[in-house]
Amino acid sequence: MSKETYIIIKKQSKKGLEVFYTRYGKKLYAYAVQNWKTDEDTAWDLIYKTYNRISEKIDSYNFENEEKFGSLVMLSFLNNLRNHYRDIQKQIQIVSEDHINLNNISEENEENENPDSIHMKSLKEELEKLEDWERMLLLLKAQQMPYSEIAKYIDKPENQLKVYYARLKKKIAEKITKNTEVNHE
């Protein structure tokens, strides 16, 4: 994508949507359908949400190069996918709770918190500290995407991604363990 394409998308015109579709639509669609097993309508809905999100935030974005902009698009799309599945899980949980009549159960206070939720809270905090490309690497690898595909979205050499991935996993695991030990003391 050239600077001119970025400017077209930035103006939020009909042409911007066409350019976005041509450049990213088919790739994002294939990724959603193949890797996340979404239906066609959901995939396109998420692509349009991604376009809308990008066009809303594009004024605060400094265009550096095509790879970084592509990473921004992919990260936004992945966030939309995760949010979509999180919302589905919430709906399933609500229906399930209504069905078994669990509405009267009160929530535990933070002192009696489940160790799994302490780990999740710690994981979330550590993930927020990472750079965008590091989060993308972890997320895409968790989806069992090959490094050759990940390299298309992250501006890093394919052979280095394995090293980065191993280091990130180790670093996060150590920090979560440390944070959990501190919380239990």
Compute the half-sphere exposure of residue 25: CA atoms within 13 Å on the CB side of its CA: 14
Q: What is the pLDDT of residue 114?
A: 53
| Residue finishing a domain among 105, 137, 170 | 105
Q: What is the mean pLDDT of residues 31-46?
A: 89
What pLDDT, on the 0 to 100 scale, is given for residue 112? 47
- More confident: 96 or 13: 13
> 88 and 173, same structural domain?
no
Residues 145 and 79 in one domain: no
Phi, psi dihedrals of residue 40, rounded to the nearest 5°: -60, -45
Judgement on whether residues 12 and 86 belong to the same structural domain of the protein = yes
Q: Which of 58, 56, 51, 60 is nearest to 23 (CA)?
A: 51
Task: Tell me which of 103 and 135 has the higher pLDDT.
Answer: 135
Q: Of 136, 130, 131, 182, whose CA–CA distance to 161 is shortest?
A: 136
Instruction: Say if residue 101 is in the same domain as residue 112.
Output: no
77 and 123 assigned to the same domain: no
Residue 94's pLDDT is 63
**Domain that includes residue 158, residue range:** 108-185
Q: Distance (Å, rounded) from C-alpha 155 to C-alpha 161? A: 10
Same domain assignment for residues 94 and 164: no
Kindly give, in sequence order, each residue whose CB lies less than 8 Å from that of residue 135, ignoring residues fewer than 6 positions away: 75, 127
Q: Are residues 77 and 128 in the same domain?
A: no
Looking at per-residue pLDDT, the higher value among 104 and 9 belongs to 9
CATH code (residue 15):
1.10.1740
Q: What is the mean pLDDT of residues 73-80?
A: 92
In this structure, are 130 and 61 located in the same domain? Answer: no
Q: What is the mean pLDDT of the chain?
A: 79
Tell whether pTM > 0.75: no
In this prediction, residues 10-26 reach a mean pLDDT of: 82
- As a whole-number percent, the residues of the chain with pLDDT over 90 amount to 12
Number of folded domains in the chain? 2
The percent of the chain in helix, strand and coil, each rounded to the nearest 5, is 80, 0, 20
Q: What is the mean pLDDT of residues 93-98?
A: 55
Residues 12, 85 within the same domain:
yes
